[in-house]
Homo-oligomer: A and B are copies of this chain.
């Protein structure tokens, strides 16, 4: 199956790409520069494409930064909140309609290259905070894309979200089996030299390795990673 995979460079989407490769998908990756604070994640998406020897399109939608305001990820005057995703404060990391925008653009690429699917790495743990990571959204946007491109897209077109009912811990376990090189993935929203260890996605990353009983090779600034 020819598939466009949305890859941010984080644990989930990089594992997604490796997983699809293991299932013999013919992959094209797509990543997005939407003015996020952590654009450095894009280099990790590129590494994934190089490693899997597949094409990647990096779409610059940086001018969306002025339109999608109110999120700490795109509005650099709003601090990235520290803490756990389950907390109310994490709403500050919601980027308005982000997944609908990314999936719509990825679907446009799918039409252009005659791909039969768009794959995204959303998982069960995202549902708490991001309404556009819920199963009902994936189902609805798949329907929208199919209608929007009727006659131009394979009638069997699918939005694949294989982790939709899995946890990030499941993803860590799967990635480990697939030998995903974790140090070549980037999660931290702050986008500094090292993972901060405090923001929602860092906390979630640590928790996933810990719950999966796996060694976490990530270097965190705080609390400092113990010297090896």
Contacts and interface: CB of A to CB of B under 8 A. Distances in A.
Given A61-B63, A101-B101, A134 B108 contact: no
Given A64-B59, A96-B112, A140 B134 contact: no
A149 interface: yes
Interface stretch (A66-74, A78-86, A192-200): A66-74
B108 A149 contact: no
Interface residues of A, number: 45
Contacts of A161: none
Interface string A32-67: 000000000000000000000000011111111011
B144 A137 contact: yes
Nearest to A98: B108
A36 to B, nearest CB: 13
Nearest to A113: B69
Chain A, interface SS category: helix
B104 A67 contact: no
Nearest to A61: B61
A134 B10 CA distance: 37
Q: Which of A98, A99, A131 gathers most chain B CB within 10 Å? A: A131
A97 B149 contact: yes
A90 interface: no
Contact of A100 (B57, B98, B148): B148
29 contacts: A30-B67, A57-B66, A58-B63, A59-B67, A60-B62, A61-B61, A61-B63, A64-B105, A67-B108, A68-B108, A68-B112, A69-B112, A97-B105, A97-B107, A97-B108, A97-B145, A98-B108, A99-B148, A100-B108, A100-B145, A101-B101, A104-B104, A131-B151, A132-B147, A132-B148, A137-B147, A137-B148, A141-B144, A143-B143
Given A97-B108, A131-B149, A137-B144, 9 more contacts: A30-B67, A67-B105, A67-B109, A67-B112, A97-B105, A99-B148, A131-B150, A134-B147, A140-B147
Among all A-B residue pairs, the 3 with the closest Cβ atoms: A96-B111, A132-B148, A97-B108
